[in-house]
Amino acid sequence: MAKKQFKSESKRLLDLMINSIYTHKEIFLRELISNASDAIDKLCFISLTDDKVGLNREDFKINITVDKENRVMKIEDNGIGMDKEDLDKNLGTIASSGSYRFKQENEQADDVDIIGQFGVGFYSAFMVSDKVEVYTKKYGADTGYKWTSSGADGYTIKEADKDSAGTIVTLHIKEDAENENYSEFLEQYRISELVKKYSDYIRYPIIMDMTHSKVKEGTENDEKPEYESVTEPETLNSMIPIWQRPKKDVSDEEYEKFYHDKFMAFDKPAKIITTSVEGVVTYKALLYIPSKTPFDFYTKEYKKGLQLYSSGVLIMENCEELLPEHFRFVKGVVDSQDFSLNISREVLQHDHQLKTVAKTLEKKIKNELTSMLKKDRETYENFFGEFGRGLKYGIVSDYGMHKDALKDLLMFYSSNSENLTTLSEYIDRMPEEQKYIYFATGESVAAISKLPQAEVVLSKGYELLYCTQDIDEFTLQTLAEYNGKQFKSVDSDDLGIESEQTEDNAEENTEALKFVRDTLGDKVSEVIASKKLVSHPVCMTAKGGISFEMEKYFSAVQPEAGMKAQRCLELNMNHSAVKTMVDLIGKDDEKAKKYAEIFYNQALLIAGLPIENPSEYADLVSSIM
């Protein structure tokens, strides 16, 4: 029979596994048990509604057997099993696995690191075996299959009789070599130790024959009782899921392991939340706030939701209804005996109990984030850097319904310091006479801080929020105010800041302003003497409801709509260049017009808006140089 080749990416990883010098080879057992448990979860779930499965919750188990002489270890489950396609897809390629994608996204991550922290699933079997067989039958299928591979040179699949659904993974354990001990994996005590260490929380019994020496029956009361060696099956794991154990009994390391294992995560969680609620709905939850954005977070592949268990049976891998959109980064598990076991997806969506749980969880998550912000600023700022955008979308979405819940979690850069600030901290620093919370939008903090229209706010000593994300302005518009103070863009025509001298000049220069307005025609809706410019000659501000940031946003996502902000050209009548133009009016109108055009284009450039004709502009500037 022809051997099939592994997909090339898998082959690389397989080579890595086979030749691994990694010292924690023992994790292979955790990986295989975890696969067995997942497979049982699937069939157990089907059995809730399908009598044909013929198994009850208590019938599901994982069996480990060892044959020291022949150096064989078997891990058997009565889970869902695999058919031929599954075998090809699941064991023929590793490209779909989270670890592999992580490797691709993080070129610098070294190989040993991946194996150690995250495991590489099924393939880790090759760290300890020179040959692996998978003997399996899918639930509902007519025939079983046997998949065999001795490593990187490929694998074969052939039909094989198997009575019931499930999978037996047979490992042919490698011979010991110099400095390499594999025989330990054939020792009962060692296997039992590994199960306790890595797989204790698995919710199905992991059973293995254990040999003990025992007092021989009938000799208990003898002066010299006789001993005999007895072999009997024992359950190695406590089966208490990690979220059912008291927090004080679980180490951070165990919580993190679980997070990595269950959620394909690679980071150290920023926060681990445990909660136990008794009330209308009684439930326990274990939640994780990641510290890094998952690689697929902004793709369709990313699934929001929590794992939902009912008394230890996995009901749903991703129950979306348990998390609001703005906390979609949260990972975790909810377990409640109050959910009926045969809930279908449709019913769940309308489940009142589910809504109750979702509501309390949302509150809990918010409180944890608030306390992180207060007590562990660095972690929070890092978290906000990763997921802040999502919180802002949360404010804007659903017509601002969540804004009160989220506004205190927001952070912005500001002119106050290099660090992020919250809105409440901004308010605390406001001088008494300051009327508004000022903000400016732009590409970067550096670009915004140099905006001419920001100058008057900054020169007054008022703090300015720097909005560098496209969502920022929408966020502030949705909020409208914070603690009674309205938000004010530096682009708006009235900043609420008095600037005496320009007021009078405005009168004097009416004629000059009209001249510029006539020169520019439809390009601007207004030309005014600026009240906010201090040292710069010009700036462009937006009149009416549409800002330049919105114009840029819509020209990117909906160019056909042609949405444009009304341009208001502001001139600093005290600036020498502007004065030169004013002097030219009536004496050399052609030249004065050129000035007007140049001011207009400069203002566009500063606002980050495209100029209509760059080469014409360059010619214009050159012509008066």
Q: Is 455 in the site for ligand ADP (CB under 6 A)?
A: no
Cα–Cα distance, 472 to 573 (Å, whole number): 32
409 Cβ contact partners less than 8 Å away, ≥ 6 residues apart: 366, 369, 370, 373, 384, 391
Least distance to ligand ADP from the beta carbon of 376, Å? 32
- 3-class secondary-structure state, position 416: coil
Q: Which residue is nearest to ligand ADP (CB)?
A: 121
**Window of 13-21, 118-126, 145-153, 531-539 that interacts with ligand ADP by CB under 6 A:** 118-126
**Least distance (Å) between residue 543 CB and ligand ADP:** 56
Q: Does 92 bind ligand ADP (CB under 6 A)?
A: no
Binder among 78, 167, 188, 489 for ligand ADP (CB under 6 A):
167
Kindly tell me which of 166 and 388 has the beta carbon lying closer to ligand ADP. 166
Q: Is 79 in the site for ligand ADP (CB under 6 A)?
A: yes
Question: Smallest distance from the beta carbon of 29 to ligand ADP, in angstroms?
Answer: 12
* Residue 82 is a binding residue for ligand ADP (CB under 6 A): yes
Give whole-number Cα distances, 239 to 40, 55, 204, 248, in Å. Answer: 14, 19, 6, 18
Binding ligand ADP by CB under 6 A: which of 47, 97, 310, 601?
97
| Minimum CB distance to ligand ADP smaller for 64 or for 569 | 64
* Measured distance CA(571)–CA(530) in Å, rounded: 5
CB of 167 vs ligand ADP, minimal distance in Å: 4
Closest CA to 155 of 126, 127, 182, 185: 126
CB of 140 to ligand ADP, least distance (A): 14
Is 27 near ligand ADP (CB under 6 A)? no
CA 285 to chain centre: 19
Indicate the residue among 118 and 482 with the shorter CB distance to ligand ADP. 118
Question: How is residue 610 written in tokens?
Answer: 């495209």
The letter for the amino acid at 403 is K
Amino acid at 392: K
With contacts defined by CB under 6 A, name the span among 77-85, 278-286, 497-505, 590-598 that binds ligand ADP.
Answer: 77-85
- Residue 11 or 517 with smaller CB distance to ligand ADP: 11
Distance in angstroms (rounded) separating the CA atoms of residues 600 and 441: 20
Distance between CA atoms of 604 and 294, rounded to whole angstroms? Answer: 38
Q: Which residues of 30-40 are buried (b: 16+ CB within 10 A; e: fewer)?
A: bbbbbbbbebb
Q: Buried b / exposed e across 587-608, counting CB within 10 Å, b at 16+? A: eeeeebbbbbbbbbbbbbebbb
- Shortest distance (Å) from residue 22 CB to ligand ADP: 17
Cα–Cα–Cα angle for 344, 348, 349, nearest 5°? 125
Among 6, 60, 118, 122, binds ligand ADP (CB under 6 A): 122
Using rule CB under 6 A, residue 157 touches ligand ADP: no
d(CA 270, CA 329): 12
Other C-beta atoms closer than 10 Å to the C-beta of 396 total 18
Number of H helices, E strands in the chain: 21, 22
Residue 387 tokens read as 């997921």
Q: Does 133 bind ligand ADP (CB under 6 A)?
A: no
Q: How many residues bind ligand ADP (CB under 6 A)?
A: 16
Q: Does 436 bind ligand ADP (CB under 6 A)?
A: no
Question: Please, which of residues 487-526 interact with ligand ADP by CB under 6 A?
Answer: none
Q: Is 76 in the site for ligand ADP (CB under 6 A)?
A: no
Look up tokens 């703005």; give the residue: 326
Q: Does 80 bind ligand ADP (CB under 6 A)?
A: yes
294 binds ligand ADP (CB under 6 A): no
Window 191-220: contact mask with ligand ADP (x via CB under 6 A): ------------------------------
Q: How far is the CB of 158 from ligand ADP (least distance, A)?
A: 18
Q: Is 184 exposed, middle or buried (0-12, 13-18, 19+ CB in 10 A)?
A: middle
Minimum distance, C-beta of residue 300 to ligand ADP, in the bound complex (Å): 19
Among residues 411, 426, 478, 480, which one has the least CA distance to residue 457?
426
> Binding of ligand ADP at residue 465 (CB under 6 A)?
no
Query: DSSP string of 240-263?
Result: --GGGS-GGGS-HHHHHHHHHHHH
For 568, the enclosing helix (H) or strand (E) is strand 566-571
Pick the stretch among 1-9, 33-41, 192-200, 382-390 that binds ligand ADP (CB under 6 A).
33-41
**CA distances for 443 relative to 254, 440, 529, 541, 559, angstroms:** 43, 10, 27, 16, 20
Between the alpha carbon of residue 348 and those of residues 316, 351, 354, the distances in Å are 10, 5, 7
Stretch that binds ligand ADP, among 75-83, 175-183, 232-240, 412-420 (CB under 6 A): 75-83
Among 16, 29, 36, 265, binds ligand ADP (CB under 6 A): 36
Binding window for ligand ADP (CB under 6 A); candidates: 73-81, 298-306, 536-544, 573-581: 73-81
Residue 39 lies near ligand ADP (rule: CB under 6 A): yes
Among 10, 20, 35, 509, binds ligand ADP (CB under 6 A): 35
| Stretch of 89-97, 148-156, 265-273, 406-414 lying at the interface with ligand ADP (CB under 6 A) | 89-97
Q: Return the SS3 of 419.
A: strand
Least Å distance, CB 342 to ligand ADP, is 23
Give yes or no for residue 121 binding ligand ADP (CB under 6 A): yes
Residue 520 in tokens: 């520019």
Among 9, 11, 12, 90, binds ligand ADP (CB under 6 A): 90
Choose among 277, 282, 353, 348: nearest CA to 317: 348
Q: Minimum distance from CB of 545 to ligand ADP (Å)?
A: 50
Q: Which of 41, 77, 473, 491 binds ligand ADP (CB under 6 A)?
A: 77
Chain residues that interact with ligand ADP, rule: CB under 6 A: 31, 35-36, 39, 77, 79-82, 90-91, 97, 121-123, 167
